[in-house]
Amino acid sequence: MSEHAISEPLDGSEHVIVADLGYGDAGKGTVVDWLCATRPVHAVIRFNGGAQAAHNVVLPDGRHHTFAQFGSGTLRGVPTHLSRFVVVDPLALSAEAAHLARLGVPDPFGLLTVHRDCLLATPYHIEAGRRRELARGAERHGSCGMGVGETMAYALAHGSLAPRAGDSPATLTRKLGVLREALGVDGPPVADCVAAYRGFASRVRLVDSADDLLRRGPVVFEGAQGVLLDENHGFDPYTTWSTTTFANAQELLGGAGAVRLGVLRTYTPRHGPGPLVTEDPTLELPERHNGTGPWQGPFRVGHFDAVAHRYAVEAAGGVDGLALTHLDAPVSRLCQAYEGFETGLQVGGGAALTARLLRAKPVYGDAVTDWPAAVADALGAPVWVGSYGPTSADKRVLTPTFG
User: pLDDT (tens digit, 9 = 90+) per residue, 302-336?
Assistant: 999 999 999 999 999 999 999 999 999 999 999 99
In sequence order, the β-bridge partners of residue 44 are 80, 220
* Cβ-contact 220, 16 below 8 angstroms: yes
CA distances from 144 to 148, 201, 222 (A): 8, 25, 19
Residue finishing a domain among 207, 229, 254: 207
One domain for residues 140 and 224: no
Residue finishing a domain among 207, 233, 264: 207
Residue 2 within a domain: no
Domain count for the chain, please give it.
Answer: 2
Q: What is the extent of the structural domain holding 124?
A: 119-207
Looking only at the bridges linking them, the beta strands covering 362-364 and 334-338 are: antiparallel
Residue 78 within a domain: no
pLDDT of residue 196: 92
pLDDT band at 352 (very low <50, low <70, confident <90, very high): confident
One domain for residues 181 and 214: no
- For residue 397, the SS3 value is strand
One domain for residues 223 and 360: yes
One domain for residues 252 and 373: yes
- Structure confidence by residue, pLDDT tens digits, 176-219: 999 999 999 988 999 999 999 989 889 999 999 999 999 999 99
Question: What single-letter amino acid sits at 398?
Answer: L
- Structure confidence by residue, pLDDT tens digits, 122-140: 999 999 988 888 787 777 6
One domain for residues 291 and 180: no
pLDDT of residue 7: 35
CA distances from 6 to 17, 257, 319, 320, 323 (A): 13, 6, 14, 11, 19
One domain for residues 276 and 172: no
Among this protein's residues, is 55 annotated catalytic? yes
Detail the residues annotated as belonging to a binding site. Answer: 25, 225, 240, 326-328, 387-389
Residue 359 within a domain: yes
Residue 148's domain is classified under what CATH number?
1.10.300.10
Residue 6 within a domain: no
Among this protein's residues, is 20 annotated catalytic? no
- Structure confidence by residue, pLDDT tens digits, 31-87: 999 999 999 999 999 999 999 889 999 999 999 999 999 999 999 999 999 999 999
One domain for residues 184 and 303: no
Residue 400 clears pLDDT 80, i.e. is over it: no
Average pLDDT (18-25) is 97
Detail the residues annotated as belonging to a binding site for GTP. Answer: 326-328, 387-389
Residue 87 within a domain: no
Residue 7 within a domain: no
pLDDT of residue 135: 80
Residue 314's domain is classified under what CATH number?
3.90.170.10
Residue finishing a domain among 207, 229, 249: 207
Average pLDDT (160-189) is 96
Detail the residues annotated as belonging to a binding site for Mg(2+). Answer: 25
- Active-site option among 15, 20, 33, 55: 55
One domain for residues 362 and 243: yes
- Active-site option among 15, 20, 25, 115: 25
Average pLDDT (389-394) is 96
One domain for residues 337 and 277: yes
Residue 296 clears pLDDT 70, i.e. is over it: no
Residue 96 within a domain: no
Task: List strand residue ranges (DSSP E) for 231-389, in order.
Answer: 259-265, 267-271, 299-305, 321-325, 334-338, 362-364, 383-387
One domain for residues 390 and 270: yes
Instruction: Kindly report the pTM of this predicted structure.
Output: 0.94
One domain for residues 183 and 214: no
One domain for residues 124 and 223: no
Residue 55 within a domain: no
